[in-house]
């Protein structure tokens, strides 16, 4: 028998596409990256943070408290402020149980929360239902843990519920329903498609999951990843699943201050019911027994002084402008036959090429685009390894987050020229 030094998880974990995308970007300083999920550098609140940290560190009492270890669940003030903030986003005047800070854990970005929740609920061989396509870093967590993903296609207003029901039925028929632990939704301005799931669809999805619980023999949770929720630049705000009456026992809400405030601070949070809450708290106790106290205090102060809201208003206007720049460039430079969805918020456009034109990392198109110093995220990276279907490979995620407005224009112009050339020759 061959001895292994690495654990099963260590051996199973594949290289995340994010590492490869970052390495490609770093190797070419002149590259226009429409791939990065980075926020706009110029938007980062350097002055605000300098002032806020100055306020925290100006007295020994507040400074020492911030520079000391905190608790595993996180700073009570930040949890209370976050709970109130979520209530106000959902238009809920009453501080109901769903929003209780006692159900909340602060994490190192929402990424850590997604990891811990998955670890708390899933064993190798379990099944997680995901949007098809979905956030590729989350797909990496599933792959690493040996969890199977089942993709459910998307419609313009979110998950295709008829297909969700068909997948659940299939799993029931094949006796695999007991392995289904959760449905993962990136519900606002989704990474990668930019689509938002309507409130009605979220409520119906929850109802459907409930209907299949008896056959599963356990709860099936809905994980709502709201990473881009606050980056809305047009359209109506959509309420979260936390606001659905009686849903709190089945909803796990993951939020973050990365996108709306500072990606470098990586302060995220999750709200969840028992027994997940206790399990995640214990797992976090083993990970790091609490996120950076200083950064939590920074966020708490930005919320309590109103600077967070002020910054967010500027940020929304900026991304609204940049989305328009990308939209105009797409209209001008992309040839007929290429389609895209227009987002109401977030950082992404999702473009679909004619099916005969492959866009994957090894495709001629991708290589030619890279040779013209432009990078996009190949759509196929955003599809889970789902044995029940072939991965579509003619799509691309285009981000207007990190690039300057001039580079968004130039990047789309170059990309459009390469696509046009390929479509003419094939």
Ligand X SMILES: Cc1ncc(COP(=O)(O)O)c(C=O)c1O
Instruction: Give residues in contact with ligand X (CB under 6 A).
Output: 37, 109-111, 135, 186, 191, 225, 227, 256, 258, 263, 266, 268
Is the CB of 194 or the CB of 268 nearer to ligand X?
Answer: 268
What region does 423 belong to: left with phi over 0, alpha with psi -120 to 50, or beta?
alpha
Tell the smallest beta-carbon distance from residue 256 to ligand X (Å). 3
Three-state SS sequence of 70-81: CCCCCCHHHHHH
Is the CB of 99 or the CB of 135 nearer to ligand X?
Answer: 135
The pair phi, psi for residue 12, each rounded to 5°, is -75, -30
Tell the smallest beta-carbon distance from residue 89 to ligand X (Å). 16
Distance, CA of 362 to chain centre: 25
Count of beta carbons in the 10 Å neighbourhood of residue 321: 12
C-alpha span between 399 and 38 (Å, rounded):
9
For residue 93, the 8-state DSSP code is -
Tell the smallest beta-carbon distance from residue 130 to ligand X (Å). 11
Tell the smallest beta-carbon distance from residue 408 to ligand X (Å). 18
C-alpha span between 209 and 168 (Å, rounded):
8
DSSP string, 322-351: HHHHHHHHHHHHSPTT-EEEPPSBSSEEEE
Is the CB of 159 or the CB of 365 nearer to ligand X?
Answer: 159
Q: Which residues contact 8 (CB under 8 A, 6 or more apart)?
A: 124, 146
Tell the smallest beta-carbon distance from residue 226 to ligand X (Å). 8
Is the CB of 116 or the CB of 357 nearer to ligand X?
Answer: 116
Tell the smallest beta-carbon distance from residue 137 to ligand X (Å). 7
Is the CB of 121 or the CB of 265 nearer to ligand X?
Answer: 265
C-alpha span between 188 and 346 (Å, rounded):
8
Tell the smallest beta-carbon distance from residue 422 to ligand X (Å). 29
Is the CB of 139 or the CB of 338 nearer to ligand X?
Answer: 139
C-alpha span between 373 and 369 (Å, rounded):
7
C-alpha span between 25 and 32 (Å, rounded):
8
Tell the smallest beta-carbon distance from residue 192 to ligand X (Å). 9
Return the closest-CA partner of residue 396 out of 372, 375, 377, 424.
377
Is the CB of 135 or the CB of 319 nearer to ligand X?
Answer: 135
Is the CB of 110 or the CB of 148 nearer to ligand X?
Answer: 110
For residue 174, the 8-state DSSP code is T
Beta strands in 240-393 (DSSP E): 251-256, 267-271, 339-341, 348-352, 374-375, 377-378
Tell the smallest beta-carbon distance from residue 146 to ligand X (Å). 21
Is the CB of 134 or the CB of 248 nearer to ligand X?
Answer: 134
């Amino acid at each position: 028998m061959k001895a292994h030094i690495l654990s099963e998880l260590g051996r199973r974990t594949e290289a995340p596409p994010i590492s490869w995308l970052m390495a490609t970007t770093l190797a070419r300083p002149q590259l226009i990256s429409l791939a990065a999920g980075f926020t706009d550098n110029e938007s980062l609140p350097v002055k605000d943070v300098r002032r806020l940290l100055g306020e925290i560190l100006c007295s020994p009492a507040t400074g020492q408290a911030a520079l000391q270890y905190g608790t595993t669940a996180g700073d009570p003030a930040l949890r209370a402020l976050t709970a109130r903030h979520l209530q106000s986003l959902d238009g809920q005047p009453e501080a109901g149980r769903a929003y209780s800070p006692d159900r909340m854990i602060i994490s190192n970005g929402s990424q850590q929360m997604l990891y811990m929740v998955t670890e708390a609920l899933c064993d190798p061989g379990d099944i997680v239902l995901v949007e098809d396509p979905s956030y590729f870093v989350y797909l990496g967590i599933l792959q690493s843990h040996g969890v199977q993903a089942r993709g459910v296609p998307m419609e313009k207003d979110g998950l295709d519920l008829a297909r969700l029901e068909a997948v659940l039925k299939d799993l029931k028929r094949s006796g695999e329903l007991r392995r289904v632990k959760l449905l993962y939704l990136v519900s606002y301005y989704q990474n990668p498609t930019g689509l938002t799931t309507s409130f009605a669809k979220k409520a119906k999805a929850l109802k459907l999951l409930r209907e299949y619980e008896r056959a599963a023999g356990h709860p099936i949770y809905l994980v709502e990843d709201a990473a881009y929720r606050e980056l809305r630049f047009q359209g109506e705000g959509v309420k979260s699943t936390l606001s659905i009456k009686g849903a709190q026992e089945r909803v796990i809400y993951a939020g973050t201050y990365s996108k709306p405030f500072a990606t470098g601070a990586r302060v995220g949070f999750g709200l969840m019911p028992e027994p997940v809450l206790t399990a995640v708290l214990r797992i976090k106790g083993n990970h790091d027994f609490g996120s950076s106290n200083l950064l939590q205090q920074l966020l708490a102060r930005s919320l309590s002084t109103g600077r967070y809201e002020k910054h967010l208003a500027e940020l929304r206007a900026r991304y609204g402008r940049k989305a328009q720049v990308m939209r105009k460039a797409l209209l001008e430079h992309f040839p007929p036959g290429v389609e895209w969805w227009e987002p109401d918020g977030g950082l992404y456009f999702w473009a679909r090429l004619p099916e005969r034109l492959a866009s994957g990392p090894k495709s001629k198109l991708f290589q030619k685009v890279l040779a013209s110093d432009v990078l996009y995220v190949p759509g196929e990276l955003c599809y889970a390894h789902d044995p029940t279907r072939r991965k579509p490979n003619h799509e691309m995620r285009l981000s207007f987050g990190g690039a300057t407005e001039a580079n968004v224009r130039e990047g789309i112009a170059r990309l459009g020229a390469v696509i046009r050339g390929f479509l003419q020759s094939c």
